[in-house]
């Protein structure tokens, strides 16, 4: 997994590229989010357009980030959900929990 960081107004957008799975992305995202939160950044957008697959470890990390920034008065937005990710969030009943900004593909 690669993460590219860019800023928009008062939020940081993380463009994720690659699979978000146990041992292949979850630690990378965890470390990046932790670094941002430690710097006082609590408005995070995860651009998931180039994430083909998320497993339970990846989903757990997204929930962990959501919880952390929420407790600090911030927000987590999921952007450009793929069909697979949208179905995963529907199945786990998390779609209504997250702030969503765009769904791509045949969702």
Average of per-residue pLDDT across 54-83: 94
Can you name the residues that pair with 44 across neighbouring β-strands?
12, 76
At which residue do the structure tokens 């146990």 appear? 22
3-state SS string for 2-51: EEEEEEECCEEEEEEECCEECCEEHHHHHHHHHHHHHCCCCEEEEEEEEC
Which two three-digit tokens encode residue 50?
């180039």
Just give the CATH number of 2-103. 3.30.750.24
pTM: 0.91
Domain residue extents for the chain: 2-103
Q: Which tens digit of pLDDT belongs to each residue from 13-47?
A: 999 999 999 987 889 999 999 999 999 999 999 99
Q: Which tens digit of pLDDT belongs to each residue from 34-43?
A: 999 999 999 9
The residue among 20, 34, 28, 1 whose CA lies nearest residue 78 is 20
Residue 104 has what pLDDT? 64
């Amino acid at each position: 997994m690669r993460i590219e960081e860019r800023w928009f107004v008062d939020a940081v957008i993380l463009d994720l590229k690659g699979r978000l799975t146990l041992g292949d992305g979850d630690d990378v995202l965890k470390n990046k989010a932790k670094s941002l939160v430690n710097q006082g950044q609590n408005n995070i957008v995860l651009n998931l357009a180039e994430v083909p697959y998320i497993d339970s470890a990846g989903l757990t990390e997204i929930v962990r980030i959501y919880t952390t920034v929420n407790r600090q008065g911030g927000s987590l937005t999921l952007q450009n959900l793929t069909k697979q990710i949208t179905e995963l969030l529907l199945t786990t009943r998390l779609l209504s929990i997250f702030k969503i900004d765009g769904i791509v593909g045949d969702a």
